[in-house]
Amino acid sequence: MTAIIQTIDTPDGAFTLLADERQRVLASGWTADHAAIVNCLSGPHRPQAIAEGETDAAAAALAYYDGDLGAIDAVEVAQHGTAAQLAGWAALRRIAPGVPLTYAGFAAHLGTPRAVRAAASICARNAPALFVPCHRVLRSDGSLGGFAWGLEVKRSLLAREAAR
Check 61, 92, 101, 134 and give the catalytic one: 134
Q: Dihedral through CA 102, CA 106, CA 107, CA 109, nearest 10?
A: 140
Q: How remote is the C-alpha of 150 from its chain's centroid?
A: 13
134 is an active site residue: yes
For β-strands 13-19 and 25-29, DSSP reports them as antiparallel
Q: What angle do CA 148, 153, 35 make, to 5 degrees?
A: 45
Active site residues: 134
